[in-house]
Amino acid sequence: MILTLTLNPSLDRTIEIASLDRGAVIRAAAARLDPGGKGVNVSRALLANGVASRAVVPFGGDEGRQLVRLLAAEGLDMVTVPVAGRTRSNVTLAEPDGTITKINEPGTALSPAELDTIADAVLAAAQPDWVVASGSLPPEVPADVYARLCHRFAEAGIRVAVDTSGPALSCALGAAPALVKPNLEELGQATGRPLARLGDVVAAAGALRAAGARTVLASLGADGAVLVEECGVWHGRAPVAGPRSAVGAGDAMLAGFLAAGGRGPEALAGALAWGAAAVLLPGSRMPGPSDIDPAPVVVGPPDPDRPLAVPFPAPPIASPITPAPAPLTQHG
């Protein structure tokens, strides 16, 4: 079973518009409301494809109760943890050419006691094969929280996949997560390197492995993805015609990777097929078997000189890669 943990879940409203004109009254072509948050999306993608998963979801306020109702309506296996604050709401404006404008609320602070209760809920679940700890951190939650959770879950013999960004990612590396899944921007920010070619991506992923991550799955948008692990390095692509929404595509990619075994070129191919399918769907809807087509996926050795379609320039300041702290306190 794959268990997901989302510290900052959300209600995600996606509004399809003809174009984004500042200061104008814009008529929506369509709108939808989905449960959101990176870990929540991973569990939703797994559910859509019949893969056993359970989501640990903190929730608060009317928005939180609505989030739980939406997840229950989808039939998601979940453990809900009530918290004092209010679950956030996000808005995505989607244009016909695939341009996405996102407005994300910061979320609500979680107290140390609430964080401990959430970690206890993970450990109380049936022993999972993986715990996916993912997404942005709520306000006032320390950047080392994923590192602490990695320590605690690893002590229980659970493999941890981390999908986050900035200082939270840099701190998590020192806790030796089994897998990290940065996108191109997150990879560049974590290493402080410009990324213009596939060889740059492979080298940056190697730097994350040297800092502690065992496997790095780097999603590169139109350039596909790169997988760097102990036994090899692979690059894969899945061409997409007419992308509709990239919201949640990285989460679907991570779900596909774990569903396909979590290692090697076969898992990379699964990740790319699931991610490409998600891009063709509206809002943050997750793809099911009828949406996923593995035929266009191509996986092989990376060409280090291949230029990226959208290179990442050198960031002004890289997030420092720091050693992980002690785990969160476990209450008896």
Q: Which residues are catalytic?
A: 251
- DSSP β-bridge partners for residue 31: 15
d(Cα 290, Cα 295) in Å, to the nearest integer?
13
Instruction: Using CB atoms within 10 Å of the CB of residue 232, give its burial: 0 to 12 exposed, 13 to 18 middle, 19+ buried.
Output: exposed
Angstrom distance (rounded) from CA 152 to CA 249: 29
d(Cα 313, Cα 294) in Å, to the nearest integer? 32
Burial, 34: exposed, middle or buried (Cβ in 10 Å; 0-12, 13-18, 19+)?
A: buried
Report d(CA 21, CA 44) in Å as an integer: 33
For Cα atoms 233, 169, 329, give the angle at the middle one, nearest 5 degrees. Answer: 125
Are 158 and 290 a contacting pair, CB within 8 Å?
no
Measured between its terminal Cα atoms, the distance across the chain in Å is 25
Report angle CA 77, 79, 83 to the nearest 5 degrees.
145
3-class secondary structure, 28: strand
Gap between the Cα atoms of 148 and 179, Å rounded: 15
**Residue of 244, 242, 321 lying closest to 283 (CA atoms):** 244
DSSP label of 183: B
